[in-house]
């Protein structure tokens, strides 16, 4: 499976950003840039996005890159769901989403995230 792609789920288009098991570095950056290019090519407030960071290494650099990309992608995102965030990172992620005015959810697994996204 590609790291960034649209899938169909119950008749809705969901954009998957798969950062699972990635570490900061070239592949992380390339994946983030590819996702941003696709998201920004869509109509405003149209993208239902699922970001999977399960087992990803998120250091300060990676979190900063995600924060910047999230802010720049915000005009195109209708709702976003994140899978694989635990503890204080989840709290920080919710704060960023609230500040940016994003419809945002944090989930334990992809099926729960997908169900929530199609309800948005």
Each residue's pLDDT tens digit, 69-113: 988 999 999 999 999 887 766 676 667 667 666 668 889 899 999
For all residues of the chain together, what is the average pLDDT?
89
Judge whether 71 and 98 are in contact, CB under 8 Å: no
Distance CA(28)–CA(74), nearest Å, equals 20
Residue 33: CB atoms within 10 Å? 13
Distance CA(117)–CA(104), nearest Å, equals 9
Structure tokens at 56: 């990803």
Distance CA(43)–CA(25), nearest Å, equals 30
More reliable by pLDDT, 86 or 44? 44
What is the fold of 4-118? Transcription Regulator spoIIAA (3.30.750)
Check whether 48 has a pLDDT greater than 90: yes
Every domain of the chain and the residues it spans? 4-118
- H-state helical runs in 40-78: 60-73
């Amino acid at each position: 499976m590609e790291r960034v792609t649209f899938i169909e789920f119950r008749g809705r288009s969901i954009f998957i950003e798969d950062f699972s098991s990635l570490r900061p570095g070239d592949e992380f950056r390339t994946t983030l840039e590819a996702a941003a290019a696709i998201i920004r090519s869509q109509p405003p407030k149209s993208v239902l996005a699922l970001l999977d960071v399960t087992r990803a290494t998120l250091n300060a650099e990676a979190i900063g890159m995600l924060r910047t990309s999230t802010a720049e992608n915000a005009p195109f995102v209708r709702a976003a769901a994140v899978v694989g965030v635990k503890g204080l990172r989840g709290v920080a992620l919710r704060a960023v989403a609230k500040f940016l005015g994003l419809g945002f959810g944090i989930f334990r697994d992809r099926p729960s995230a997908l169900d929530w996204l199609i309800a948005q």
